[in-house]
Amino acid sequence: MVPTAENYDVVIIGGGPGGYAAALYGASAGLDVALVEKYKVGGTCLHVGCIPAKELLETAAVHRAVVGASTFGITAGEPSLDFSVTQQRKQEVIDKLFGGLSGLLKSRKVTVLDGTGTLHGDHLVRVSGGSSGDVELTGDHVILASGSVPRTIPGFEVDGQRVVTSDELLSLERLPASAVVIGGGAIGCEFASMMSDLGTDVTILEALPKILPGLDDDITRVVLQSFKKQGIDVRTGVAVTGHEPHDHDGGTKVRFGDDETIDVEMVVVSVGRRPLSENLGLDGTAVKVSDRGHIEVDEWCRTGEAGVYAIGDVIATPALAHVGFAEGVLAIQDILGEDPVPVDYGRVPWCIYCHPEVSFVGHTEASAKEAGHDVVVSKRRFGGNGRAIILDEAEGMVKVIAEKQSDGTGGRILGVHMVGPWVTEQLGQAYLAVNWEATAEEIAQFIQPHPTLSEVFGHGAFTLTGRSYE
Ligand code: FAD
Ligand code: NAI
């Protein structure tokens, strides 16, 4: 240990969801915690991820509501968008949450240092380049939570105008008239949906045969139909090969597939994120980094160096804020010697906030079969649900995948995949069902309030018992 360096129970590098959850949870358990952050606590999620993206999607939802107001007899006129107000509100939401998080860290007595942290031998962390100056700390334990940054692709250099990633898109002063979104994953579909609702002509170019990896095929079909109806052009199985900026306007010609081209004002590159591990030092440690840049860990997020953990997007687990929270808690519990249960990555909740919304947990029908399960499924549409019809949002379905019992009824629930109104808020029950390994019969014992959207999941599980009351 370096004698001059202040020692903490835990030093955390990176103040995003993984890092701040570990800091808050560790402090709540009585540990003395230091958190090193080079930008602002909150990380990608708060400043250039979940929160601003969902705020802009909410603007799109309000716009949709105004467009559809006449269905309810309300005359609202043609909506117009002042994107500067939208951006201002987005920033206010971020600032409010940032203030709350900073206050929480302070009240839990977490020492927050502003600067870039690097890890060296003997758990020494050097901090530099920020307002905390050059500082050395040691931690009985160290947690690496440096997160991730957008991936880019050759031939599409990001200039913040013609070619953007999520980082730039979230802060645009105005939306483009037309855009190509490269990559039909979570970011691509959320941005495509938001921009299309707000008037941009959108084309998604996806390299794989399907958009939204991980989603059950029946649910993907509903999303595709809906995107088509909204005017979003989805092209799958196409490779992009480059683009040529126009001379006459700010736009560009994108080349893809077999010599196809499309002229657009903006290209949004959303082809995944890469772990940010190259700025962590790590010399003189036994921490291992994979070829793809992920820090290698075991089930408890322990790296190769005793007492050093890595959590969140910098490790090769689902890149989700709530997975980062769970890993932060897990690492602290392991530090406390509490023998915690590792995260079950195959059964974490996924919520995508495009329109229509998508959410899922556990197996798809195909992956359950691949894993050797004999399955029975129920598919129930929102079209027959009272609340959905009242909302004028009756598009979508809930698919419940269960183990098939010898009498043909559904046993243990293996997965639930949803598309439709507010399904991100409805996944909770399905998440508990899958992770508690509940059977269809057990779920059927519980009453769903009427009229609610959640009846669709409840009845879906109910019908798997072989009977139904509706
Ligand atoms: P990050 O949030 O990336 O935080 C890492 C932090 O470490 C950063 O603040 C960085 O400045 C800091 N840092 C890095 N290196 C150092 C260093 N050497 N020293 C000091 N500080 C350092 N997930 C969801 O669950 N739901 C969503 O709806 C969702 N929407 C998203 C939308 C978009 C547009 C994007 C881009 C992502 C979205 N995500 C969403 C993913 C989510 O943002 C990430 O999974 C999450 O932020 C990862 O948390 P993290 O703590 O691992 O890393
Ligand atoms: P992603 O991995 O979800 O999707 C990237 C898509 O781009 C894939 O479908 C991939 O096949 C495609 N792709 C890759 N290279 C390509 C190329 N050259 N041409 C065309 N397509 C190509 O990554 P994304 O959307 O960038 O998001 C990163 C991560 O952030 C997500 O995996 C998710 O973990 C997280 N996220 C979560 C959200 C949520 O939970 N609501 C919202 C946004 C992001």
pLDDT for position 2? 44
Helices (H) and strands (E) in the chain, counts: 13, 22
pLDDT in tens, 435-455: 999 999 999 999 999 999 999
Neighbouring C-alpha atoms within 13 Å toward the C-beta of 3: 0
417 is catalytic: no
Rg (alpha carbons) of the chain, rounded to whole number:
24
Q: Could you tell me which of 189, 268, 264 has the C-alpha nearest to residue 226?
A: 189
Cis peptide before 356 (omega within 30 of 0): yes
Q: What is the bridge-based pairing of β-strands 357-362 and 410-420?
A: antiparallel
> Looking at this protein, which amino acid is placed at residue 98?
F
- The end-to-end CA distance of the chain, in Å, is 69
Whether pLDDT at 1 is above 90: no
pLDDT in tens, 70-103: 999 999 888 999 999 999 999 999 999 999 999 9
The domains located in the chain, with CATH, are 6-150+274-345 (3.50.50.60), 163-271 (3.50.50.60), 356-463 (3.30.390.30)
> Looking at this protein, which amino acid is placed at residue 322?
H
C-alpha 184 – ligand 2 centre gap (Å): 6
Cis peptide before 451 (omega within 30 of 0): yes
Q: Residue 207 is encoded by which pair of tokens? A: 């390299």
188 Cα nearest atom in ligand 2 = 25
| C-alpha–C-alpha distance, residues 95 and 117, integer Å | 24
Q: Which residues line ligand 2 (CB under 6 A)?
A: 153, 182-188, 190, 205-208, 213, 240, 270-273, 318-320, 351-353
Q: Which three-class secondary structure state does DSSP give residue 310? A: strand
pLDDT in tens, 232-249: 999 999 999 999 999 888
C-alpha 12 – ligand 2 centre gap (Å): 27
Neighbouring C-alpha atoms within 13 Å toward the C-beta of 77: 3
Strand order of the sheet with strand 375-381?
350-352, 357-362, 410-420, 397-404, 375-381
The average pLDDT across 147-169 equals: 97
The average pLDDT across 47-57 equals: 98
pLDDT in tens, 316-370: 999 999 999 999 999 999 999 999 999 999 999 999 999 999 999 999 999 999 9
Q: Could you tell me which of 147, 116, 153 has the C-alpha nearest to residue 50?
A: 147
Question: Which residue among 148, 267, 271, 425 has the greatest number of ligand 2 atoms within 8 angstroms of its CB, and so is best to mutate?
Answer: 271
